[in-house]
A and B are shown apart, each in its own frame.
Chain A
């Protein structure tokens, strides 16, 4: 599985957009990029995933660069409830093993 690199922490003001970067320079052409988040003492929550096109759903937007070596998760209007650890993961075309790194601790402040 391709490794991912994320900053260990980020702060964001409530109501502003939060842009979370992820580097995956060794990603293969058939590997998807997934984003999850984990609020303390809960199971990780699926946010969004994509292959090469930008994706948007009710939670967030995912922007993948043209060379696919990096991506950005955008939370358009951060709320206090978005405070969590955010994980960027790439997944192979095998049966589907996910490898979680340490993620980015996002703190949304009033």
Chain B
């Protein structure tokens, strides 16, 4: 089945450590996205990528980094510079270009930093 896989589902880290969240898709989508969700709130865009080897900052990119070396993969690194990293992280993808193509989401990674 085609879809988006995020791993792991739960991740625990000590403060000061960088951590990388995985996102893989087999939908052949050009565009990929990372969102962050805090309890009781909507999703906020961290980074997005329209094409391999290119990505753009979203609304809350500080303290995060991404890479897009392959079409299928868009890993997110939460660095020690991110002041409040504990959150639910969601990866998504879509067909590039037309504004009538929906986002497809993975099931998220819940990161806890102590």
Contacts and interface: CB of A to CB of B under 8 A. Distances in A.
A36 B101 CA distance: 13
Interface string B81-114: 0000000101010101101111111111010000
Contacts of B35: 100
Contacts of B103: 36, 44, 46, 96, 98
B44 to A, nearest CB: 8
Interface residues of A, number: 27
Contacts of B99: 30-32, 91-94, 96
28 contacts: A30-B99, A32-B100, A34-B102, A41-B110, A43-B6, A43-B105, A43-B107, A44-B43, A44-B90, A44-B103, A46-B102, A49-B100, A49-B102, A51-B100, A87-B42, A92-B99, A95-B31, A95-B97, A96-B94, A96-B96, A96-B97, A96-B103, A97-B45, A97-B48, A97-B58, A98-B45, A98-B103, A100-B43
Contacts of B96: 95-96
A100 B33 CA distance: 13
A41 B88 contact: yes
Contacts of A31: 99
Contacts, number: 63
A15 interface: no
B25 interface: no
Contacts of A30: 99
Interface residues of B, number: 31
Given A87-B42, A101-B42, A102-B42, A46 B88 contact: no
Interface string B35-48: 10000111111001
Nearest to A87: B42
Interface in B1-59: 4, 6, 31, 33, 35, 40-45, 48, 50, 58
A107 B10 CA distance: 26
A97 B49 CA distance: 11
A43 B108 contact: yes
A46 B104 contact: yes
